Amino acid sequence: MSSIEEILELEQLEKDIFRGIVADTTMTRTFGGQVAGQALVSAVRTVDDRYRVHSLHGYFLRPGNPTIPTVFLVDRIRDGRSFCTRRVTGVQDGQAIFTMSASFHVGDEGIEHGDRMPPVPDPEDLPDIAQVVGEDIPWEFREWSDWDLRFVPQERIARRPGVPAQQQVWFRYRRTLPEDPVFHICTLAYMSDMTLLGSAQVPHAGTALQQASLDHALWFLRPFRADEWLLYDQSSPSAGFGRALTQGRIFDRSGVLVAAVVQEGLTRLLRD
């Protein structure tokens, strides 16, 4: 499979126009996290270094074709003293498959607080799927073999009252990544689409669904490294009408809240 460095290394075709690679994949549609991560790299390439991305909001408009590259068109919406905004459209065969707004901030002083990480087993106490031998490895772990994903068993999750669907995943990239903090942010944009929609299926185990990401919002709150352990604390507050709302909090190993995610996805019942 393609490395995250290859996936996020875009070719510049023209000012504010970029093209991503055709990544090795077993999926029949382009992975949404790949499109979001590449779109964010495109936006970053048009922004002065003194700004740091703090949020993105994206819509998946059409299924992407994984056998052809995606071209990203960047609109410079605003350049201010403290904030700047970019809009990115991902295009295949002349049609938009993804659109995203990204906001950048120079950083200011202000009030500070953050959620505490919930009690959770250490990642070292959970099995590494890469050590499983044979054909028993789920396709997700073969598709993203460069990622160390360790799911907390449902019986070991500290339940929050009134929350119908919870899921927790420790994750990290298996190899050392570049030092550039922006690279880790774009890597997290890629990864944040991974496993999140699955939290909606926790109370409905065994139900056959057609699933796809519809929209995705991500806030980068504090510095982190994507090649060090991060906890993805996920929940789904609502599902209905063939859609599910999911949300996630991402903590570093020390328990600091570093990012937050909200996503709505398609969860349509598969009929015989």
HSE on the CB side for 122, CA within 13 Å? 3
Place of tokens 């052809």: 68
Beta bridge partners of 104: 53, 84
Confidence at residue 133, expressed as pLDDT on a 0 to 100 scale: 52
Beta bridge partners of 17: 14, 73
Rounded to whole angstroms, the Cα distance separating 88 from 75 reads 6
Confidence at residue 142, expressed as pLDDT on a 0 to 100 scale: 81
Q: Which residue type is seen at 99?
A: T
Nearest 5°: the CA angle 84, 53, 38 is 110
Confidence at residue 271, expressed as pLDDT on a 0 to 100 scale: 79
Give me the active site residues, please: 193, 213, 263
Confidence at residue 140, expressed as pLDDT on a 0 to 100 scale: 76
Q: Which two tokens stand for residue 202?
A: 């926790």
Q: Which residue type is seen at 171?
A: F
Strand (E) or helix (H) holding 237: strand 230-240
pLDDT per position in the chain (272 positions), as tens? 799 999 999 999 999 999 999 999 989 999 999 999 999 999 999 999 999 999 999 999 999 999 999 999 999 999 999 999 999 999 999 999 999 999 999 999 999 999 999 999 999 999 888 776 555 677 778 888 899 999 999 999 999 999 999 999 999 999 999 999 999 999 999 999 999 999 999 999 889 899 999 999 999 999 999 999 999 999 999 999 999 999 999 999 999 999 999 999 999 998 76
Rounded to whole angstroms, the Cα distance separating 100 from 139 reads 28
Confidence at residue 139, expressed as pLDDT on a 0 to 100 scale: 73
Closest CA to 213 of 32, 56, 39: 32
Closest CA to 35 of 25, 16, 20, 17: 20
DSSP per position, 64-85: --TTS--EEEEEEEEE-SSEEE
Confidence at residue 131, expressed as pLDDT on a 0 to 100 scale: 75
Rounded to whole angstroms, the Cα distance separating 215 from 140 reads 21
137 phi, psi to nearest 5 deg:
-80, 120
